[in-house]
Amino acid sequence: MLTTIERIVFVVLALTSVGFTIHGIKTIVDSVRKGRSAPEVKNIPASLVKAGIAVLFQRTIFRTRKILSTIHLGLFFGLITYAFVNLVDILEGFIPGFDLVYGGKHPAFPFLNSGIINTFNLIADVMSGALLFSVTVFLVRRFIVKDKQLTYRENILLNPKVKAGGQNKDSLIVGTFVILHVAARLMGQAFRLTDGADAFTPIASFLNGIFGASQTGVHVAWWVSLCWVLYILPYITRSKHTHFTVGPVNLGLAKQNPRGQLDPAVPAGVRATRTSPIPEPGAKFLHDLSWKRILDSYACVQCNRCQEVCPANFYGRPLSPSALEVNKRYLIKEATFGSHPERLLLPLTETVISAEAVWACTTCHACVSICPVGNEPMADIIDIRRRLIIDGAEIDSGVQNALQSLATNGNWMNKGKRLRGRWAKELEFPVKNASEEQVDYLWFVGDTASFDERVVPNTKIVARIFNEAGLDFGIMYQNESNAGNDVRRVGEEGLFEQLVEQNMGAFGKAQFKKIVTTDPHSFNTLKNEYPQFGGKFDVTHYTSVLVKLFDEGKLTVKNKLSNYQVTFHDPCYLGRYNGEFTAPRKLLEMVGVKFNEMPRNCETSFCCGAGGGQIWNGKVAPGERPAENRIKEALTTFDKNPSDKKLLFIVTCPKDMIMYSDAVKTTGKEGKIEVRDLIQLIAEAVGLEMPLEAEAVASAA
Amino acid sequence: MNIVVAIKHIPSIADDLPVKGNNVDFDSVDFVLNEFDEQSIEQAVLVKEATGGTVTVVGVDMIGELDGVLHLALAKGADKAVKITGDDPAADSHQQAKWLAEAIKGMSPNIVFAGVQASNDLDGQIGPMIAAHLDMPYIGGVSSVEVAGDTATVNKEFAGGFGAKYAVSLPMVVGVQASTKPPRYAPISKVRQVAQTATIEKVAPSGESSARLTMKKMAPPVVTGHAEMFTGSSKEVAAKIVDLLKSKGLA
């Protein structure tokens, strides 16, 4: 089809385009390789295939926004189709007489019968329509409807180029490309239809009906269509649309260790130097991040699903996980394609995320869990915290007090070690000291459940239930220290290690078969992180132990609690982190309450706002707190299922008990809804007899 | 400039304080750094950062566990650590002041910091007595210190929210109420690294205090009844308060 001159021009243009594209790819690869090491990705081919399948079925985007995700299908399958369409178009240009319309055959391709060609034509034609439709919807969403999901709040740190609309420019360029490219290709097909409509290209045939056939038209359309491709290929490597290719790869290289196990603070290969006698943990500058965190920024297309589920963002704090990713990419872009390499030498807290945002993260994992391309913005934040702590940055006074108390007392409440087991001594029966005598279950109680007077009544009920069921259990009294889950997530790795050593010492002296915890945070780190320090234990949460006790008939429901209507809040560190969704719900079913699920449940449960050290904060930010919003969510859920039963908000985490009891008060919902630990329902259902004083305290709590 | 910080290791009140005979049961209590000394260490490091010099932290080792505290001070920016091997948990502030002054004398200090008081005796005497032993001026209740040449400008706090600025010529002893900035956090990795590499100088106690206190009796405070909480509307509560005041003959 093409003349010789046309061919030469095209080949020159194509080589130029490929050259710029390779340069773009090389820049990305170089930037990623400059990152520090990450935990080894095992069996890469298999994980890439697995990720490829997930991408092919577009599974990960359907975690939320079902309608927009459906429209994304048009873009995804449309662009895949067009990769083939473009190849065929080039063949049409370069092989004389090769023309696909009317199921055309060509001697050079004997295996392409008209059945195959017609099928291809139909797919290409229909997908052209799908592409035009979906890209139009997305452009309308961004530029006309101005969907808030695609914007960042004023207080969030943004690269100046992003603030000036860099992403909108990207979207406009690529959106225009898709529309003009697809339109040109469709017109080209229409101009080829010299004998009228082709049943297998309905859209092109329709256009042919209007514009007719034209040999000049074929040439013009071919050039417009393919020149766009030559322009867009290198452009993609310099825009957020690296997402097209890096997204699936990143998903394939995503974290393989348990969600609840943080990557090491000091990556393998980083050593002490004369200037820093302590090997530098975490990240101050961009290339202190692991290569995976840098790759994340190229996978991200700023769909902002993460921002939407972020409790800190909801609370009005200046945190957006997606802004963090786009800022990283722009920082590299400015250093490589732009003229600001010096900005790479600025701390990340000035270039990608404000220090205030760094300290606002609750480490709830919602952003990581929702991300369709396997990004871990939370890991960046924890790495930045780690370096801030070691560099002696100013930290919130409440957090500092908690850390200091943890260092001296092993708990964050400034209580003496010897007071840790005091609650147990106030019970009607002795609680074994696991440090002195053998037990089946070593109960790791945790700070809040041991010391906080709002939670201690529930701790005592757990002990009474265990005792009632004849469970052989004990606690470590003053030998237990805080497990360190939140200490580690605040970034104080040294203190975390100290606490692990103290607990490992205590475990070493104790005799037990399993560990049971009442605190999901302790549960998480004992289960997922202690093994890295040699502590390989069988760790369970008390809800699973209770299910077992019921199954074995050691506990029986004597009173059905049909007078209660309840909802259940999945604690982040039990649910999203460790996948335990069923045990609490099974228990609720057993005790016979009316149960309503909140819209955000299980994997998408909404954080109470306490994790990652937030509960220690001295300063309380203004605005509606996540816990308050959650109480409203529960009440709305109950409103949709009206009854005259007593409304209960059920928790299985000591921190939740505090956060939500408080939120009920601050939202003025006292008397409407009551926060209770699941153990209180169990006690009532099994008819546990409690001393009068204890009952009074429990119902007042 | 030689900056010295005199610190005190005192029984922790995070636990219930155990009593044995007529004193604290020192065998079953943890010792911690006096809270005001955290402020004075911070103030000393801030002065060093502003003017240069070395910070030496010195304290009496009451129960043989002072190293941890000294390591913490070094991690926060102190340069030298000295412990006086007193090994007498009952040593009072008079005795400690004498030992500290004897140890500090040889350090030719330009400025000595001490916490304004400690929660175990609350007598606020360590600073003034060190000053007396060293024949230096003392200023207490201080909430910020700036040094320029031979003179220090200090803020001293008075009751009722009043404060005054003093210019004091060096050398002098300062009783720190609060440092200019809140004490910094020392990351544990740093403290542990210091613990592995730092050397702590040991000094034998010298000098007998002429005025040791004699403890006659010590007992935990007697708990007498609980507070009564009034409930009801604000009017009802107000009425109850008025009734109570009347019944006590106060209204």
**Cβ B152 vs Cβ B138: under 8 Å:** no
Average pLDDT over residues A177-195: 95
Co-location of A436 and A324 in the same domain: no
Do the Cβ atoms of A389 and B185 come within 8 Å?
yes
Q: Is residue A219 part of a domain?
A: yes
One-character DSSP codes across A268-299:
TT----SS-SSPPPS-SSGGGSBHHHHHHHHH
- What does the block give as tokens for A135? 């890209």
Does residue A490 share a domain with residue A465?
A: yes
Same-domain status, A314 and A421: no
Residue type, A549: L
Instruction: Find where tokens 């009440």 sit.
Output: A635
- Is there a single domain that holds both residue A367 and residue A464? no
3-state secondary structure at position A478: helix
Domains in chain B, number: 1
Chain centroid to CA A482 = 26
For residue A404, the chain B residue with the least C-alpha distance is B185
- Residue B209 clears pLDDT 60, i.e. is over it: yes
pLDDT in tens, B30-77: 899 999 999 999 999 999 999 999 999 999 999 999 999 999 999 999
Whether residue A172 lies inside any domain: the answer is yes
CB-CB: which of A418, A419, A494 is closest to B189?
A494
Q: Considering only CB atoms, which chain A residues are within 8 Å of B30?
A: 408, 416-417
Mean pLDDT over A23-27 rounds to: 96
pLDDT tens digits, one per residue of A275-321 = 888 899 999 999 999 999 999 999 999 999 999 999 999 999 999 99
Does the CB of B190 have a partner CB in chain A at under 8 Å?
Answer: yes
What's the CATH number where A380 sits? 1.10.1060
Does residue B217 sit within a domain? no
How would residue B207 be classed by pLDDT, with cut points 50, 70 and 90?
A: confident
Number of CB atoms found within 10 A of residue B154's CB: 22
Domain finish residue from A326, A354, A385: A385
In a domain, B212, yes or no: no
User: Does A403 lie in the same domain as A379?
Assistant: no
CATH code of residue B65? 3.40.50.620
Structural domains of chain A, count: 3
State the best of B15, B39, B189, B196 to mutate against chain A, taking most chain A CBs within 10 Å.
B189
Q: Is residue A431 domain-shared with residue A530, that is, in the same domain?
A: yes
In this structure, is residue A38 part of a structural domain?
no
Distance in angstroms (rounded) separating the CA atoms of residues A690 and A680: 11
Considering only CB atoms, B188 lies closest to which of A397, A400, A495, namely A495
pLDDT band at A106 (very low <50, low <70, confident <90, very high): confident
Distance to chain B for A30, nearest Cα, Å: 32
Give how far A698 is from chain B: nearest CA, Å. 19
Identify the domain boundary among A360, A385, A410: A385
Longest dimension (CA), chain B: 68
Lowest mean pLDDT among A8-12, A111-115, B210-214: B210-214
Domain-located, residue B233 = no
Query: Cα–Cα distance between A243 and A366 in angstroms, integer?
Result: 21
Asked if B25 and B19 count as a contact pair (C-beta separation under 8 A), the reply is yes
Range of the domain at B177: 2-203
Mean pLDDT, residues B144-155: 94
Q: How far is CA A58 from the centre of its chain?
A: 17
Which tens digits make up the pLDDT trace of A456-513?
999 999 999 999 999 999 999 999 999 999 999 999 999 999 999 999 999 999 999 9
Distance CA A39, CA A30 (A): 19
Is the same domain home to A323 and A418?
A: no
Q: Is the CB of A404 less than 8 angstroms away from the CB of B197?
A: no
Instruction: Report the C-alpha gap between A534 and B154 in whole angstroms.
Output: 52
Option in A416, A418, A494 nearest B187 (CB): A494
Q: Which of B14, B182, B197 sits opposite A415 (nearest CB)?
A: B14
Average pLDDT over residues A109-137: 92
In a domain, B160, yes or no: yes
From residue B58, alpha-carbon distances to A603, B36, B97, B117, B128 in Å are: 55, 15, 11, 16, 16
Residues A591 and A665 in one domain: yes
How much is the mean pLDDT over chain A? 94
Residue A536 lies in a domain: yes
Tell me: the pLDDT tens digits for A349-391?
999 999 999 999 999 999 999 999 999 999 999 999 999 999 9
Closest chain B CA to residue A401: B185
Q: Do the domain assignments include residue B17?
A: yes
More confident residue, B185 or A2: B185
Q: Is the pLDDT of residue A701 over 50?
A: no
Work out the minimum CA distance from A59 to partner chain B, whole angstroms: 43
Residue B188 placed within a domain? yes
Does a structural domain hold residue B134? yes
- pLDDT at position B231 is 87
pLDDT at A207 over 50: yes
Q: What is the helix (H) or strand (E) element at residue B41, kind and residue range? A: helix B35-51
Residues in chain A closer than 8 A to B14 (CB atoms): 408-409, 414-416, 419
**What are the residues whose beta carbons fall under 8 Å from the beta carbon of B5, sequence distance 6 or more?**
B37, B40, B41, B44, B55, B56, B57, B58, B73, B78, B112, B113, B114
Residue at A40 is within a domain: no
Q: How far is A617 from chain B (nearest CA, A)?
A: 15
Determine the Cα–Cα distance for residues B203 and A548; give it in Å rounded to an integer: 61
Q: Would you tell me how many other CB atoms lie within 10 Å of the CB of residue A540?
A: 20
Regarding whether A664 and A593 lie in a shared domain, the answer is yes
- What DSSP string runs through A583-613? HHHHHHHHTT-EE---SS-GGGPPP-S-TTT
Looking at the structure, do residues A405 and A316 belong to the same domain, yes or no? no
Same domain membership, residue A566 and residue A691: yes
Residue A692 confidence (pLDDT) above 70: no
Full 3-state SS string of A523-535: HHHHHHCHHHHCC
Decide if A576 contacts A603 (C-beta within 8 A).
Answer: yes
Task: Work out the mean pLDDT of chain B and round it to a whole number.
Answer: 92
Residue A8 domain boundaries? 4-32+64-236
Pairwise CB contact (< 8 Å): A389 & B191: no
In the numeric block, the tokens 């605005």 are attached to A623
Q: How many CB pairs under 8 A join A and B?
A: 59
Q: Does residue A348 share a domain with residue A215?
A: no
Contact A397 B182 (CB under 8 A): yes
Closest in B12, B14, B189 to A390, CB measured: B189
- What is the distance in angstroms between the Cα of B17 and the nearest Cα belonging to chain A? 10
CA distance to partner chain B, nearest, from residue A58 (Å)? 44
Instruction: Evaluate whether residue B27 is within a structural domain.
Output: yes
Calculate helix-pair angle for A291-299, A4-33, nearest 10 degrees.
Answer: 140
Which residue has tokens 């780690």?
A386
Concatenating the DSSP letter of every residue in A632-646 gives HHHHHHHHHS--SSE
**Shortest alpha-carbon distance between residue B212 and chain A (Å):** 30
pLDDT of A700 higher than 50: no
Chain B residues with CB-CB distance to A416 below 8 A? 12, 14-16, 30
Of B14, B16, B193, the CB nearest to A278: B193
C-alpha B71: how far from chain center: 17
